[in-house]
């Protein structure tokens, strides 16, 4: 086993032991938010391999959250059945949306996915029944068994989030290292060269788009049944931009980039929450400084530091 794998194994063991030493519900809540953000950041990272950035991730997450909320609250379906359905439905919707949006390139793709996210919000906000309108849906039941997943105990939700994020990162890492991932990286290097050797560039981009939507739907399902409340006011354009910022700050070259970015940019705003109205100002200043001093992200800066030490 290589040193990196030993490090990952040690990290997983440490994360599994966190609830044994941390009994503060707020700290566990922050960790759960980190897990959610990592799922979303890594899903966009997979799509970003092909030079595509989707501003519709919040929309797909909202679809997954709404699906899980309606199934568990209105129809009485178990969360464990609603969870995969909440991933499959956004993926199914992503297929035709991707076919249409991939016909355009560059900034036009951003605008199409942005419009899709806003359309999703508008539909859910317009219909009071069954989507709850702008007020959203409240009192979404937690996963079963109810005696284990209670609003006062964050530990079961922590372990559920840990399992989901580990599976997500492992699957996306395996995809990025497989022959499919190699094709995606080749498309990133040169679409023209990839298509000249017989690669269906649009088809591979579409599959990456669908996988990204599936993961966002799973994250939305977990969010809905953890928080117990969803609303169109939550899954807005800014949410998708935040996911992109996770990748930019963390670095794009490896899967560790979006993971590190999601961890750092979830913790930093919480550290400055006591500053009140100056919280976002301080966060913005830190973000600008990090992008100016580390243009290739935190992981890129760490790599450069290692090279200097080796030299």
pLDDT > 70: percent of the chain:
96
- Bond from prior residue into 145 cis (ω within 30 degrees of 0): yes
Query: Of 58, 206, 54, nearest to 120 (Cα)?
Result: 58
Q: Is the pTM of this model over 0.85?
A: yes
**Inter-CA distances, 69 with 65, 112, 123, 149, 184, Å:** 6, 27, 16, 16, 34
Q: What is the mean pLDDT of the chain?
A: 88
CA 79 to chain centre: 20
**Counting Cβ atoms within 10 Å, is residue 103 exposed (0-12), middle (13-18) or buried (19+)?**
exposed
Question: What's the pLDDT at 3?
Answer: 64
- Provide mean pLDDT across the span 255-260: 90
Question: What's the pLDDT at 9?
Answer: 87
Q: Which residues contact 291 (CB under 8 A, 6 or more apart)?
A: 248, 249
The better pLDDT of the pair 287, 78 is held by 78
**In whole angstroms, what is the distance from residue 20 CA to residue 15 CA?**
10
What DSSP line would sit under 281-299, residue for residue? HHHHHHHHHHHHH-TTHHH
Question: What's the pLDDT at 31?
Answer: 95
**In whole angstroms, what is the distance from residue 207 CA to residue 98 CA?**
9
Query: Of 120, 136, 117, nearest to 242 (Cα)?
Result: 117
Could you read off the pLDDT of 24-50 as tens digits, one per residue?
Answer: 899 999 999 999 999 999 999 998 888
Query: Of 246, 219, 249, 256, nearest to 234 (Cα)?
Result: 219
pLDDT at 172 over 80: yes
CA triplet 37, 41, 45: central angle to 5 degrees? 170
- Provide mean pLDDT across the span 228-245: 88
The better pLDDT of the pair 307, 179 is held by 179
**In whole angstroms, what is the distance from residue 102 CA to residue 167 CA?**
28
- Provide mean pLDDT across the span 92-111: 87
Question: What's the pLDDT at 279?
Answer: 65
């Amino acid at each position: 086993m290589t040193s990196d794998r030993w490090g990952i194994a040690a990290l997983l063991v440490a994360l599994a032991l966190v609830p044994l030493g941390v009994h503060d519900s707020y700290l566990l809540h922050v960790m759960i938010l980190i897990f959610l953000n990592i799922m979303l950041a890594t899903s966009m990272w997979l799509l970003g391999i092909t030079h595509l950035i989707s501003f519709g991730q919040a929309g797909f997450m909202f679809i997954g959250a709404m699906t899980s909320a309606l199934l568990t609250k209105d129809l009485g379906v178990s969360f464990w059945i609603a969870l995969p359905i909440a991933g499959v439905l956004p993926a199914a919707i992503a297929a035709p949306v991707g076919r249409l949006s991939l016909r355009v390139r560059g900034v036009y793709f951003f605008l199409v996915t942005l419009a899709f996210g806003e359309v999703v919000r508008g539909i859910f906000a317009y219909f009071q029944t069954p989507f709850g309108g702008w007020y959203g849906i409240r009192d979404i039941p937690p996963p079963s068994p109810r005696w284990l997943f209670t609003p006062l105990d964050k530990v079961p939700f922590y372990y559920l989030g840990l399992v989901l994020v580990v599976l997500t990162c492992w699957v996306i890492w395996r995809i990025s290292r497989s022959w499919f991932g190699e094709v995606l990286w080749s498309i990133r290097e040169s679409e023209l060269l990839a298509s000249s050797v017989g690669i269906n560039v649009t088809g591979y981009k579409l599959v990456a788009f669908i996988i990204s939507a599936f993961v966002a739907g799973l994250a939305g399902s977990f969010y809905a049944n953890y928080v117990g409340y969803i609303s169109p006011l939550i899954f807005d354009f800014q949410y998708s931009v935040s996911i992109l910022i996770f990748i930019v700050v963390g670095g794009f070259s490896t899967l560790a980039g979006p993971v590190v970015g999601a961890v750092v940019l979830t913790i930093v705003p919480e550290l400055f929450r006591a500053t009140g109205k100056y919280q976002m100002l301080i966060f913005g200043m830190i973000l600008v400084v990090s992008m100016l001093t580390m243009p290739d992200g935190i992981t890129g800066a760490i790599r450069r530091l290692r090279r200097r030490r080796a030299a």
